[in-house]
Amino acid sequence: MLASRSLSAIKKSLSATTRSMSNKVAVLGAAGGIGQPLSLLLKLSPLVDELACYDVMNAPGVAADLSHIPTKSKVTGSLPSPGAWPQRSNEGLGEALMGAKVVVIPAGVPRKPGMTRDDLFNTNASIVKTLVEGCAEFCPDAVLAIISNPVNSTVPIAAEVLKQRGVYDPRKLCGVTTLDVVRANTFVGALLNKDPSEINVTVIGGHAGITILPLFSQVPGWKASQEQLEAITVRTQFGGDEVVQAKAGAGSATLSMAYAGFLFTENVLKAMAGESVTQCAYVESNLTEAKYFASPCKFGKNGVEEVLGYGELSAYEQGWFDKMMPELKAQIKKGEEFANK
């Protein structure tokens, strides 16, 4: 059905929709382990007027299921358009993206036991590249929230694709590192016997292993022992491995990642509506030698308004910082080289 509709017809129909729908969010990879619970949470959000679900399979079914939930947002589900000659744009992807203010990308294969995020590179790098090409064509002004791992490399890939298309805006490209903050808050709350929703740990660096650096020295009123600090730092860095191992080959951190992606997206929408929002994100940055770096960012109507500093590091944190930088820079370079080959 989608293949029979012209791109101009889709644009005309969607432009009419977006005039009445103020906040459209597209989820690319909506039928996956992260995509389904993420889409569910976004369907429940009063900030979302239209939710577009896209995937290579099952997206219409996910959308149909979500559409039965009695909230105000309209839900659509799209699949890739069948191939055609002469070649034309992917109208299924175009339908999902046209008019979107925020595009969340959890698409890709999940980790299995023994795999690192970097092991996912070859498959997920190609997926992200293709999807961001679609974003450049159909919604060049949207804020892109990249969840697909390895984020340290997929964000640079996305940036290079957008640069090649002449639509790169560093304010509107973010790697979602919120799960690292969520984990750090949860683990500290458990140690201190406090509500983790009242804790906000700054987590800097990247989103893989030792490139994740939680700044526990900045948690007010907590003087951790060296043993506690080592345990909670490593657990935050490798929290994903904990879930992969616990699921014993049946998946990775999908539910907690969906929750973190939802928090990030809602905060972006709140900032677009004029609220004051500061949250950690992996963005283009000049804070360090790394071209992309996660740190607190002030968000506004156009995405990232200001990349903020991360304060003073303890000697323990500085040691991790020094270990992190060569690895983070190498992962960034790997992404850029992939996009430009």
Q: Which residues are catalytic?
A: 207
Contact 52, 20 (CB under 8 A): no
Write a three-state SS string for the chain.
Answer: CHHHCCHHHHHHHHHHHHHHCCCEEEEECCCCCCHHHHHHHHHHCCCCCEEEEECCCCHHHHHHHHCCCCCCCEEEEECCCCCCCCCCCCHHHHHHHCCCCEEEECCCCCCCCCCCHHHHHHHHHHHHHHHHHHHHHHCCCCEEEECCCCHHHHHHHHHHHHHHCCCCCHHHEEECCHHHHHHHHHHHHHHHCCCHHHCCCCEEECCCHHHEEECHHHCCCCCCCHHHHHHHHHHHHCHHHHHHHHCCCCCCCCHHHHHHHHHHHHHHHHHHCCCCEEEEEEEECCCCCCCEEEEEEEEECCEEEEECCCCCCCHHHHHHHHHHHHHHHHHHHHHHHHHHC
**C-alpha atoms less than 13 angstroms from C-alpha of 143 in its C-beta half-sphere:** 28
Q: Token digits for 129? A: 């590249």
